[in-house]
Structure 1
């Protein structure tokens, strides 16, 4: 069974074997174990509820490490627009839970990164794949 899907070449979407809350907690733990800092958790569903709108569980995890992000910004400072790194955890209409993140190729193309930034973007994508894999299996 293929648990990875994407209809956008700039995104990777991976299915989780865990319920939504467990996936979010496992992701935050994997990010921390990988040596990154979780800066913020944005609960889009809770924010929607405050506006009187129902949204399926959707949480954005923002995390990073200055040693990685700074390399991207040293290459092209506007890459800071896509930092800190982000992973979206969301639940679909069939109650399946997914993790979505941007690819290195997308970051490289979007910001016109050179060799140094491209290497940092590739390392970041490897970390994203690793932590999402740990959180979802």
Structure 2
């Protein structure tokens, strides 16, 4: 399978609770929550159906600024986003863009290497906590 740059972790919780847990985890870590978008509610507004799907947009200038200083267009993928979604079998997943993949995609270099590594490690921790899984 081709590398899409997405990391998906199965959650032990429903979509709403997974995002609630993620909000709690990232705010406790000192990050800012910028938006929470309920895509299923949006679909309902237009009379369409969509399995539970919620997006959380969060981050901190300390993490994203070095990436944009390196390559300003990296800002199109910042702040960080995570999507909780339910698949056809009723499993819930928490998905996000892999920071190393984004670095390659945007041609980031040595100037943002430490920030990319910190974002990657931080995402692994907060997603594992929100999904209720052990880190490996």
TM-score normalised to structure 1 length: 0.91
Secondary structure of 1:121's match? helix
Confirm whether residue 36 of structure 1 aligns to residue 47 of structure 2. no
- Tell me, yes or no, if the aligned pair for 1:18 and 1:136 is still in contact at 8 Å: yes
The partner residue of 2:105 within 107, 110, 119 is 110
Cα root mean square deviation, aligned? 1.4
Identify the residue that residue 3 of structure 1 maps to in structure 2.
none
4+ residue runs over 2 A deviation: 6-9
Q: Distance in 2 between matches of 1:19 and 1:79?
A: 31
Q: Deviation string for 1:55-95 (max 9, x for gaps)?
A: 00101100010011101101100000001100011011221
Q: How many residues align?
A: 132
**Structure 2 residue runs without a partner (length 5+):** none
Q: Deviation string for 1:89-121 (max 9, x for gaps)?
A: 101122111000111221111110011223212
TM-score normalised to structure 2 length: 0.91
Name whichever of 121-130 and 37-46 sits farther off.
121-130
- Tell me, yes or no, if the aligned pair for 1:90 and 1:97 is still in contact at 8 Å: yes
- Tell me, yes or no, if the aligned pair for 1:76 and 1:117 is still in contact at 8 Å: no
